[in-house]
Amino acid sequence: MARMMHKEVDGIKVVGFSLAGEESVVALPEYNVCFDVGRAPREIISIDNVCLTHGHMDHAAGIAYYFSQRGFLGNSPGRLIVHHSLAPLIEDLMKTWARIEGHPSEIEVVPVEPMQDVPIRRGLIVRPFAVNHVRTSLGFSVIEIRHKLKAEFHGKTGPELVALKKDGVEIEERTECPMATFTGDTALGRFLHHDFVRQSRVLIVECTFFESEHEVRARAGRHIHAEDLPEILACVPEAQILLVHLSRRTDFRTAKKTLLELVKPDDVERITFLMERPPRPQRGGDGGSERSRRTPSATSPAEPG
């Protein structure tokens, strides 16, 4: 589907679609990890690990369809990594769907607390952390775990190292390499000061609002406003930044112009948008009436999600 955007940020492939209140799903296929499920687009069904940031519908609507399609296509159930207080609700949801459909879908729900690492594969974990949106919101970092020889053993021969290992000497040290961090929906918060967030190669961060008159909306809904970007950039001085979750009411050219006004030229170069061109309006079942093409007006209620 052409709708999904494909990007490469600092060598990491990103596939996704993300508009506030409408749908947000961002996958890192090489890591077999997806952040949120959106409406479960076809491109993410083969990904085994879905990290759910929170329960708002634009992020979570496709959960049942994801599990169902996994089974339909003969895949293993797929894992939903989720805040522990949402896990029983999602299990209830799937039980209800089983009654509606007349048969259950296999599911695997992994309840987590902030800072509870989840192994993805050998040498790779995701680490959930608390963010500042709704009570059960989580961000996630994808972290490679590498083992390297301790400096004091450099210069030893192979047999010497084997002998040391046999004697129970710990000759390697574990290092963490944070590859990408996904904030989910959030306002600014203490999470930006975690070392693994600061050291991430890529920070995928929501930035829902750009216009100054939308600052009240951003604060009320606990979202990032473009005016927060300088503070974020200062926290992650090395990272490439991918902005997601723009409001559909923000014109993309306005967003770019605002960015140039708010952010230093050096920093502008390390920021990209997932949705670089305004997405085509979605057609309704009636073939695309004026109503379904209408974008939210500035007077419509505050963004869901």
Binding footprint of Zn ion on the chain (CB under 5 A) = 56, 58, 185, 305
Please identify, using beta-carbon distances, which residue of 141 and 183 lies nearer to Zn ion.
Answer: 183
Please identify, using beta-carbon distances, which residue of 217 and 270 lies nearer to Zn ion.
Answer: 217
Which helix (H) or strand (E) element contains residue 205? strand 202-206
What does each C-alpha distance from 48 to 20, 142, 155, 177, 233 come to in angstroms? 25, 14, 41, 22, 31
Please identify, using beta-carbon distances, which residue of 139 and 178 lies nearer to Zn ion.
Answer: 139
Q: Using CA atoms, how far apart are residues 20 and 185, in angstroms rounded to an integer?
A: 9
**Least CB distance to Zn ion at residue 54 (A):** 6
Please identify, using beta-carbon distances, which residue of 18 and 141 lies nearer to Zn ion.
Answer: 18
**Least CB distance to Zn ion at residue 294 (A):** 20
**Least CB distance to Zn ion at residue 167 (A):** 53
Q: Assign 3-class secondary structure to 35-60.
A: ECCCCCCHHHCCCCEEECCCCCHHHH
**Least CB distance to Zn ion at residue 101 (A):** 27
What φ, ψ does residue 66 adopt, rounded to 5°? -55, -55
What φ, ψ does residue 240 adopt, rounded to 5°? -80, 140
Is there a contact between 273 and 17 (Cβ–Cβ < 8 Å)?
no
Can you say how many angstroms the Cα of residue 110 is from the centroid of all Cα atoms in its chain?
A: 17
Please identify, using beta-carbon distances, which residue of 169 and 302 lies nearer to Zn ion.
Answer: 302
**Least CB distance to Zn ion at residue 83 (A):** 13
Q: Position 137: which residue type?
A: S
> Is the sign of the CA dihedral 284, 289, 291, 296 positive or negative?
positive
**Least CB distance to Zn ion at residue 49 (A):** 20
Please identify, using beta-carbon distances, which residue of 70 and 245 lies nearer to Zn ion.
Answer: 245
**Least CB distance to Zn ion at residue 245 (A):** 6
Please identify, using beta-carbon distances, which residue of 58 and 228 lies nearer to Zn ion.
Answer: 58
Neighbouring CB atoms inside 10 A of 287's CB total: 7
List helix spans (H) across 135-221: 158-166, 195-198, 215-221
